[in-house]
Chain A
Amino acid sequence: MMEAPALSTLKADKVVDARGTACPGPLLEAKRAIAAVPMNGILEVISSDEGTTTDVPLWARKVGHDYLGTVAEGGNWRIYVRRRK
């Protein structure tokens, strides 16, 4: 896990804006998007619902990626995942 200041310096290889979707949308978006991230690259998921900040880390762990951390920002959340497989 990384702290917010360190997270905000990360350069995401792909950003997926999941603000227009509700459960299970963000998971489906993350699954689709991670395929376009190079190995060990970083995916950033932007969400407007807090539940997604619980679910995306669980998804990452289950599927085998590294969850790096989440930054809260003006009612949205930026969730960072490193592709590991």
Chain B
Amino acid sequence: MSGASVHPVVAHDEISLGEAAAPPTEPTPQPSGLSMVVFSGELDKVLAAFTIANGAAAMDLPVSMFFTFWGINVLRRGSPVTTSVKKTAMEGMFGRMMPRGPDHLQLSTLRMGGLGTRLMKREMARKHVAGLESLVRSAREQGVQFIACQMSMNLMGLKKEELIDGITIGNVASFIDAADRSRITLFV
């Protein structure tokens, strides 16, 4: 008898759960891939970001990297570029003081006025650890998508022609869109 009184309660619960559930929507594709925010502009952190990006791409994951704030400097060309638009004094100063591209980044620790970075690079070469420039190149060869944050570019006065070719320029929606379609998201 007790079983008979329990059963309707369970059935009722099932019905109300069914009513509460959202109506069926279009099946969304299973997200896959890796999306990253590269916020840091320090050699060690950016090396980690590109090691992960290259590994993911080698494992056939679609990878997109969103470069913002200090990270935008990774995308700068190695030598000064005369921009079509004149920079303000502050923008010019930012441009001169911030690193121009992968080869000019400094370590986040043991920096020792640049000496630490030089020693680390020497040790990397000695132990066959790929340098950042080479990792950036192989990420591009593997089809990793680079997105530069427009807001950061504006803030620091960086113009598109100062950045390497083949990148997309976007804002937060570009990152959210990439993150929403990926299964792994990392902030470096």
Give me the interface of A with B, judged by CB distance under 8 Å. 20-25, 27-28, 30-31, 55, 58-59, 62-63
Contacts and interface: CB of A to CB of B under 8 A. Distances in A.
A28 B128 contact: no
A27 B60 contact: no
Given A24-B130, A24-B135, A28-B138, 15 more contacts: A21-B130, A22-B127, A22-B129, A23-B51, A24-B51, A24-B55, A24-B58, A25-B128, A27-B55, A30-B58, A55-B55, A59-B58, A62-B60, A63-B59, A63-B60
Interface string B118-145: 0000000001111000010010001000
Contacts of A20: 128
B130 A25 contact: yes
Interface in B26-81: 51, 54-55, 58-60
A61 B55 CA distance: 14
Contacts of B142: 28, 31
Nearest to A62: B59
B58 A27 contact: yes
A4 B135 CA distance: 34
Contacts of A27: 54-55, 58-59
Contacts of B55: 23-24, 27, 55
B110 to A, nearest CB: 19
Interface residues of B, number: 13
A27 B61 CA distance: 13
A85 B151 CA distance: 42
Contacts of A62: 59-60
Contacts of A59: 58-59
16 contacts: A22-B127, A22-B128, A22-B130, A24-B135, A25-B130, A27-B54, A27-B55, A27-B59, A28-B54, A28-B58, A28-B142, A55-B55, A59-B58, A62-B59, A62-B60, A63-B59
A82 to B, nearest CB: 17
A14 B129 CA distance: 24
